[in-house]
Structure 1
Amino acid sequence: MMQIGHQIVSIELFAQPTAEQPAYQPVLLWDETGATLVDTGNVGQFDQVQKAVSEAGLTLNDIKRVILTHQDIDHIGNVSRLLEANPGIEIWAHEDDIPVITGQEPLIKVTPERLAQMPEAAREAIQNVLDERSSISISRVLHDGDQLELHGGIQVIHTPGHTPGHICLYLPKEKLLLAADELTIHEGELQGPVPGFTPNMAQAIESMGKLADLPLDGVFCYHGGLYDKSPNERIREIIQSHR
């Protein structure tokens, strides 16, 4: 767990027990309205999520809402388990990814062919999560430019490309961007989204233009953690490198 702002921590989730670096980093923040979890980790990581929430001094019952930045399995992987533990949790997501999150449409990256190549145990676990999506109901539909009355104000920024409904969250009070998968960190340097998992890279880079002029002290990436070395300058460099 890492403190990234006032009453804002990252939840470090490890793909393997022996891993030295976290593979996924949801964000937990809380204020007088209760706790908000941004993304939920990958399939099979519920126990890690629960432990991290406890280490932050909270319980799953303190979580009032989950904001899903997009549809990918490593972000929605524990939604159903969280709802089992606390049925009162609200699920918020962008309108363009809701049909996938709620099971009306297939995930764009977890194809039957890809599932078939997985080990049986992993395939069954993922299939269970896919099947459980139909029980997920969305409490709030998010749109580009929405201002969320949480944590001093949070701005929703629609950044399609990695998925159609991918969003980033900007916290102006902290000058902090929760970039989800729009930005990543590789070997200590801020990068764009991973090309192999980004169906429309050109659109993702275009979306990045919305981020370049935000007043930023830090960018927090779901894959890689916190980047605070002149993030605006680096974002502009990434955009320029794709022209």
Structure 2
Amino acid sequence: MFADLLRVRTPLVNFHVLKDESGLVLLDAGFLGASRSLRRALAERGWENEPVRGILLTHGHLDHSLNVARLAKETGAWIAAPRLDGGRYLGRTRSLGWSRIAGALEGIGRPLLGFRPFVPDRWIDDGDELELWGGLRAVHLPGHTEGHTGYYCASRKLLFCGDLFASFSRWSHFPPAILNAEPERMAESIHKALSLDLAGVIPNHADDAEAEEHLRRLRILAGRLKGD
């Protein structure tokens, strides 16, 4: 996609590494096998000696946050994360309706998978500007979780959209109801994302298509949602 952007694949979910003049920032931290996948991906790109200076989260679901505390301890990286998911970083989940199923599964999974609670060094709110990778702006996209947040790079017209949708060619879809803490807000967040000046989007659950193709798929899904 970009010479200063690296996709790291782990079972069920991808995460990304952003590189600028001061080092590397992880955008989410992956799920099972993330450390091994990260080391391999960095070595293949020739970044294995670059310092990891930060970890930036899109939201607090376990498949994005499982490795955060351990990686931060190993690398000395700061942690920045959406404020409204604060309880999730401490291992607490507020679940209503169908999302109680996912909340129960996460409650079981945290101790089994070795999740370590953490408190971010910086809280992220809607509209916050981050001075990394040429400039990123936090875009609150609630629904999947209370604090679910994307990061928009205006200079590249690119949105890291977290779990706003999953992009797998003809099997692209929005997250199922059991995974959405506030499903009534999903449509609002989709509209908010697509109102940005976009050339591409990068979801965490996705195949190897280019960012422009992921955006095309998101627009098709949004059109179906409206009945267009």
Q: Give the letter aligned to residue 119 of structure 2.
A: S
Note the residue ranges of structure 1 that are not aligned, 5 or more in a row. Answer: 16-22, 116-121
Q: Residue 8 of structure 1 is aligned with which of 5, 28, 35?
A: 5
Q: Residue 79 of structure 2 is aligned with which of 81, 91, 100?
A: 91
CA contact 2:135–2:153 (8 Å) conserved in 1: yes
Q: Percent identity?
A: 26
Work out the CA distance in 1 between the residues paired with 2:212 and 2:87.
35
Corresponding residue of 1:48? 37
Corresponding residue of 1:160? 142
Greater per-residue helix proportion:
2
Q: For 1:84-163, list aligned pairs within 5 A.
A: 84-86=73-75, 88-103=76-91, 105-106=92-93, 108=95, 109-111=102-104, 115=108, 125-126=112-113, 128-129=114-115, 132-133=116-117, 136-163=118-145
Partner-residue secondary structure (3-state), 2:53? strand
Q: How many angstroms does 1:185 deviate by?
A: 0.9
CA contact 1:193–1:204 (8 Å) conserved in 2: no
Partner-residue secondary structure (3-state), 1:26? strand
Q: How many angstroms does 1:81 deviate by?
A: 2.5
Q: How many angstroms does 1:114 deviate by?
A: 6.8
Q: 1:102 to 1:54 in 2, by over 3 A?
A: farther
Partner-residue secondary structure (3-state), 1:9? strand
Q: Give the letter aligned to residue 165 of structure 1.
A: G
Q: Give the letter aligned to residue 238 of structure 1.
A: A
Q: Is 1:24 the counterpart of 2:13 in the alignment?
A: yes
How many equivalent residue pairs? 219
Corresponding residue of 1:219? 201
Scaled by the length of structure 2, what TM-score is found? 0.84
Q: How many angstroms does 1:233 deviate by?
A: 8.4
Q: Give the letter aligned to residue 212 of structure 2.
A: D
Worse-matched range after superposition: 176-185 or 228-237: 228-237
**1:89-144 deviation per Cα after TM superposition (whole angstroms, max 9, x unaligned):** 000001101222134x23743426973xxxxxx77532x21xx21xx231111110
Note the residue ranges of structure 2 that are not aligned, 5 or more in a row. Answer: 96-101
RMSD between aligned residues: 2.6
Q: Residue 201 of structure 1 is aligned with which of 166, 183, 191?
A: 183
Q: Give the letter aligned to residue 24 of structure 1.
A: V
Work out the CA distance in 2 between the residues paired with 1:64 and 1:185.
29
Q: How many angstroms does 1:54 deviate by?
A: 2.6
Q: How many angstroms does 1:64 deviate by?
A: 0.6
Partner-residue secondary structure (3-state), 2:14? coil
Q: Is 1:181 the counterpart of 2:189 in the alignment?
A: no
